[in-house]
Amino acid sequence: MAFDKAFIESVRDRVSIVDVISRYVPLTRKGKENWGCCPFHTEKTASFSVNEEKNFYHCFGCGAHGDVITFLMQTQHLTFIEAIEKLCQDAGIPIPAATAEQRRRDKESHELYEVLKMAADFYKEQLYTEEGKVGLDYLKSRQLSDEMIANFHLCYAPAGNKLIQHLKAKGVPLKVILDAGLARMSERTHTPYDYFRERVLFPITDSRGRIIAFGGRIMVKDDNLPKYLNSPESLVFSKGRNLYGLAQARAEAIEK
């Protein structure tokens, strides 16, 4: 769910940045500032300042700077929306009801997440078939262990239109398959075809670990086909806003 700018600003204004940060960092009041040891780097002398009046924090040691929302995002490894939701929950601030348009987009997004997960499960099975052996051998030749293959959900897209057939057999509408970037319509025959074929696939996830897209490397020699191919942008995938491996890095950071 998205929040409008007015609501985001009201959350910043209604929540005490000192109260929030002091739950994670011991602070000492000195004049108009509150000081503590920076949570973003190791230090013995407090150089981390929190200013209630100006509503920001700043570390004079490492340069970390931001507001209460960025603090939660960076220290608790939350998304922007998750940070706002946590602030509202902790402060008892009612979250505005979604508009009809937001509910429609949320429903469509949910459908895309589901079909992308179904596609990933199908592609993972293909990696361990006779046809997918070429992809598994390639990954092994790149020194990728079974653990790494499993952790990053690496998989294989077979030849033909097997994914479309698989998803339609499970009752997934063609429109959803197309909207997820898993298929395209042929300009010549006006029929759908699998977007990824005969490629090792690298699923792209959001910060929550939900699959939102794929990147693929071709496994056959064909100069007419691109060596690398990425999913087109969709309702859940924006190339400029997502980082490959973010979910795995976030999980490792939380464990530490």
Do 88 and 94 meet the contact criterion of CB atoms below 8 Å apart? yes
**Gyration radius of the chain's alpha carbons:** 23
pLDDT tens, N- to C-terminus, the chain (256 residues): 678 888 999 999 999 999 999 999 999 999 889 999 999 999 989 999 999 999 999 999 999 999 999 999 989 888 888 899 999 999 999 998 877 888 888 899 999 999 999 999 999 999 999 999 999 999 999 999 999 999 999 999 999 999 999 999 999 999 999 999 999 999 999 999 999 999 999 999 987 788 999 999 999 998 899 999 999 999 999 876 655 555 544 445 444 4
**pLDDT at 157 (0 to 100):** 98
Strands (E), the chain: 28-30, 33-36, 48-51, 56-59, 65-66, 155-157, 183-185, 192-194, 199-205, 211-218, 228-230
d(CA 236, CA 110): 9
- The verdict on pTM exceeding 0.75 is no
The burial of 30, by beta-carbon neighbours within 10 Å (0-12 exposed, 13-18 middle, 19 or more buried), is given as: exposed
- Contact, 216 vs 203, CB < 8 A? no
Q: Are 234 and 112 in contact (CB under 8 A)?
A: yes
| Residue length of the chain | 256
Measured CA to CA, the distance from residue 116 to residue 234 in angstroms comes to 12
Single-letter amino acid code for the residue at 171: G
Give me the pLDDT at residue 172, please: 97
Helix (H, G, I), strand (E, B), or coil: what is residue 15? coil
Residue 78, pLDDT score: 86
SS3 72: helix
pLDDT of residue 103: 84
Cα–Cα distances (Å) from 202 to 120, 152, 171, 199, 242, in that order, read 10, 7, 25, 10, 14
